[in-house]
C-alpha cells in the first residue's frame, strides 16, 4: 500500500528555498564575492587570459549555437566587452578594471542562473499538477475521455517511491539533504519534484533546470518561480563554470536542500551512469568543510535516487545521439521528443493507459565522504565504526582547506553514488525482455561491431517464443540470485510466471513507440521493429554481466545432467 507522508515543515514560508529567494540579491552578491575570491590567487595576466577566453567562447556560442531563450543582441554585448577588455589593457589600473569586468560578467551569469521561489506560484503548480496527473490517470486508465474528471486513481499508485523515506525525512530535519538522481528524461525533475512534495512530504528542493527547457514559455514561467536555477550546458568557459559551482556551494552551505543530476545530462545510451561529473559534486564536500569552519555542526547528507521507467519519452532521440557520439557517424537525428507539450501529454497518457509504474528508489543516505549514516545522522565507516565528519577536514588537529584532499573525497563520494545506482536499481519486466532479446541477436553476430549489428534487417532477426522463454527463465534466475545478494532490486513480476513477465514487458514498452522494440508476430515468434530502440532499453542491464551469469547457470545445469 502506497503511503503519502505529511509535510515535515507545513508552512511554505519556513522552507529554506523560500528564505533563499527572499534574499536573492544578497545571495547573488555572495556568488560574486565567492567568484572574485576564487580568482584572487591568479596573476593579472591569468585574469586577462580568463576574460579573453570567456568573451571569445561566448561570441562563438552566440554565432554557432543560438537559442530562442538567449537575450537579444547578445553578440553585440560580448563584442562590447571585448572592446572594453582591449581598452583596459592600455590603462594604468588595468588589473583593477579587469577585476571589475570579471565581477560584471559574474553578475550577468548569476542573474541568469539564480531563480525565484514564489509561494503563490508553487501552490498553483501543486494544485495544477495534481489535477492534471489525476485527470489524465483516471481518463487513460479507463481509456475514456469522459472520465477526465474522475478521482478513482491517485498518482502515487503509479509513481512508486521506495527505500528509506522515513530516514531521509528525519535527516532533513537535522541537516541538509542532497538528492542525486539518475537522469533519463526531461520529465525527471517534474516527477521527482512532485514526489518530494506530494509523497515524501519534504520542502521543495533547489534544483537545476536546463536552459533549453525555457523555450517552452509555460514551462519557463513555472520553473523560474519554483526554486530552479538555470544551467546552460553550452557555456564551458571558466567564469560561468565557477559562477555555477559557487552558487551551488553557497546554497548548500546555507542549508538549502538541493537536487542535481550528478551525471550532468540525460543518459544518451539508456544505461545507468558509470561516471559522474565532479564539479557540482565537489561543492557538497566544500560546503561541509565551510560549515565546520563556521562552527556549524549540521551535516550534509547525500541520497542517491534511481529512476526506472518502462519506456522513456526521449529514447529514440537519445540513442541516436549516443550512436553519433561513439561512432562518429552522421546519423540523421530525430527530433527531441521533450520539446513540445503534446509529447509530454502523450507520454503520460500512454503510461497511465497501460497501467505502467515509474519506480523512484532511494538509496541509503551517506555523509559527504560516502560513509553510511544512521537515522540520527551519525556516520559509520566501512568497518562500521562511528566516525566524526570534522576529522576528515583536519590536519594536525585543525580544520584546513586542502583542494587535493577534497578532490579525493569527491571521487570516493562519486564511486559510492554509482555503487548505489546499480545496487538500488529496480529492474522492470521491460528491461529484462529488451536485454534478453538484444543479447540473443548479438549472439548471432559474435564478430560484428554494434554498428553493423544495428544495420541488419530487423524483420529477419526472429526467435521462436519457447526458445526466448527459456532464456527469460535463465535471466530470471540470475536476477533473483543477484537480488538476494543485494546487488540490485527486482519487482514481483520478475519472480513470477515467465509468460506473464514477457507479456507485461512487451506491452509496457510497445504502448508508447510507433515501432515496437519487442513484439510477438503472427507466427508466435519474438521480433523487433527497431533495433536502435531495443539496444537503448537493453543497455539498462548491460553493466551487470548478466550473460556471463546465465552461462554459468547453463554450465552448472549441464554438469548436473551429466
Answer yes or no: is pLDDT of 139 > 70.
no
pLDDT tens-digit readout, 290-327: 999 999 989 999 999 999 999 888 899 999 999 998 88
* Domain 12-16+116-423, CATH: 3.40.1130
Phi, psi at 262, each rounded to 5°: -70, -15
Q: Give the confidence band of 209 by pLDDT, cuts at 50, 70, 90.
A: confident
Q: Give the confidence band of 148 by pLDDT, cuts at 50, 70, 90.
A: very low
Q: Give the confidence band of 108 by pLDDT, cuts at 50, 70, 90.
A: very high
Answer yes or no: is pLDDT of 387 > 80.
yes
- With pLDDT > 90 as the criterion, what percentage of the chain qualifies? 72
Residue 47 makes CB contacts below 8 A (sequence gap 6+) with 39, 95, 98, 99, 102
Short-list 532, 502, 499, 501, CA closest to 516: 532
Q: Give pLDDT, residue 483.
A: 97
State the chain's mean pLDDT as an integer.
89
Q: What is the mean pLDDT of residues 502-517?
A: 89
Q: Give the confidence band of 178 by pLDDT, cuts at 50, 70, 90.
A: very high
Given a contact cutoff of 8 angstroms between Cβ atoms, the answer to whether 138 and 152 are in contact is: yes
Q: Give the confidence band of 329 by pLDDT, cuts at 50, 70, 90.
A: low
The full set of domain ranges for the chain reads 12-16+116-423, 27-113, 426-561
Q: Give the confidence band of 128 by pLDDT, cuts at 50, 70, 90.
A: confident
Answer yes or no: is pLDDT of 219 > 90.
no
Phi, psi at 305, each rounded to 5°: -140, 125
What is the rounded CA–CA span in Å between residue 248 and residue 226? 16
pLDDT tens-digit readout, 39-58: 999 999 999 999 999 999 99
Q: Give the confidence band of 145 by pLDDT, cuts at 50, 70, 90.
A: very low
pTM: predicted TM-score of the whole model, two decimal places = 0.90
Answer yes or no: is pLDDT of 152 > 60.
no
Amino acid at each position: 500500500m502506497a503511503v503519502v507522508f505529511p509535510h515535515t515543515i507545513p508552512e511554505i514560508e519556513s522552507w529554506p528555498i523560500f528564505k533563499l529567494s527572499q534574499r536573492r540579491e544578497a545571495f547573488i552578491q555572495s556568488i560574486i564575492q565567492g567568484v572574485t575570491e576564487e580568482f584572487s590567487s591568479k596573476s593579472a595576466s591569468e585574469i586577462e587570459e580568463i576574460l579573453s577566453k570567456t568573451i571569445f567562447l561566448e561570441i562563438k556560442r552566440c554565432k554557432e549555437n543560438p537559442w530562442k531563450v538567449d537575450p537579444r543582441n547578445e553578440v553585440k554585448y560580448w563584442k562590447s566587452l571585448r572592446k572594453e577588455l582591449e581598452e583596459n589593457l592600455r590603462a594604468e589600473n588595468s588589473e583593477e578594471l579587469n577585476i571589475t569586468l570579471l565581477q560584471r560578467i559574474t553578475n550577468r551569469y548569476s542573474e541568469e542562473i539564480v531563480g525565484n521561489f514564489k509561494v503563490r506560484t508553487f501552490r498553483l503548480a501543486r494544485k495544477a499538477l495534481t489535477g492534471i496527473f489525476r485527470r489524465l490517470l483516471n481518463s487513460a486508465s479507463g481509456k475514456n475521455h469522459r472520465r477526465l474528471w474522475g478521482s478513482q486513481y491517485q498518482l502515487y499508485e503509479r509513481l512508486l517511491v521506495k527505500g528509506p523515506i522515513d530516514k531521509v525525512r528525519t535527516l532533513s530535519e537535522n541537516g541538509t539533504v542532497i538528492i542525486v538522481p539518475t537522469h533519463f528524461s526531461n520529465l525527471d525533475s517534474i516527477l521527482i519534484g512532485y514526489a518530494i512534495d506530494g509523497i515524501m512530504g519534504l520542502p521543495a528542493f533547489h534544483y537545476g533546470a536546463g536552459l533549453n527547457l525555457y523555450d517552452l514559455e509555460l514551462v519557463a514561467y513555472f520553473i523560474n518561480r519554483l526554486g530552479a536555477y538555470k544551467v546552460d550546458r553550452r557555456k564551458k568557459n571558466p567564469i560561468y563554470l565557477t559562477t555555477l559551482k559557487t552558487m551551488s556551494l553557497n546554497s548548500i552551505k546555507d542549508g538549502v536542500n538541493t537536487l542535481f543530476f550528478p551525471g550532468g545530462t540525460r543518459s544518451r545510451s539508456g544505461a545507468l551512469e558509470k561516471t559522474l561529473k565532479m564539479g557540482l559534486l565537489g561543492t557538497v564536500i566544500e560546503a561541509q568543510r565551510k560549515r565546520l569552519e563556521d562552527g556549524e555542526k549540521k551535516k550534509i547528507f547525500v541520497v542517491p535516487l534511481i529512476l526506472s521507467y518502462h519506456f522513456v519519452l526521449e529514447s529514440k532521440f537519445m540513442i541516436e545521439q549516443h550512436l553519433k557520439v561513439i561512432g562518429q557517424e552522421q546519423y540523421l537525428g530525430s527530433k527531441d521528443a521533450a520539446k513540445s507539450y503534446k509529447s509530454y501529454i502523450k507520454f503520460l497518457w500512454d503510461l497511465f493507459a497501460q497501467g505502467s509504474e515509474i519506480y523512484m528508489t532511494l538509496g541509503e543516505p551517506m555523509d559527504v565522504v560516502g560513509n553510511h549514516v544512521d537515522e540520527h545522522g551519525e556516520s559509520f565507516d566501512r568497518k562500521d565504526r562511528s566516525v566524526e565528519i570534522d576529522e576528515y577536514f583536519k590536519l594536525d588537529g585543525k580544520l584546513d582547506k586542502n583542494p587535493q584532499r577534497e578532490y579525493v573525497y569527491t571521487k570516493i563520494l562519486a564511486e559510492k553514488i554509482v555503487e548505489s545506482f546499480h545496487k538500488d536499481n529496480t529492474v522492470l519486466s521491460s528491461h529484462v525482455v529488451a536485454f534478453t532479446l538484444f543479447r540473443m541477436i548479438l549472439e548471432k553476430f559474435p564478430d560484428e561491431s554494434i554498428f553493423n549489428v544495428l544495420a541488419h534487417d530487423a524483420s529477419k532477426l526472429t526467435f521462436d517464443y519457447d526458445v526466448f522463454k527459456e532464456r527469460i527463465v535463465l535471466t530470471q534466475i540470475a536476477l533473483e540470485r543477484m537480488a538476494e545478494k543485494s546487488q540490485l532490486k527486482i519487482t514481483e513480476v520478475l519472480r513470477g510466471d515467465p509468460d506473464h513477465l514477457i507479456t507485461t514487458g512487451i506491452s509496457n514498452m510497445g504502448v508508447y513507440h510507433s515501432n515496437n522494440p519487442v513484439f510477438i508476430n503472427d507466427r508466435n515468434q519474438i521480433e523487433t521493429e527497431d533495433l536502435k530502440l531495443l539496444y537503448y532499453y537493453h543497455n539498462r542491464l548491460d553493466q551487470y554481466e548478466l550473460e556471463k551469469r546465465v552461462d554459468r547457470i547453463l554450465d552448472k545445469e549441464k554438469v548436473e545432467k551429466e
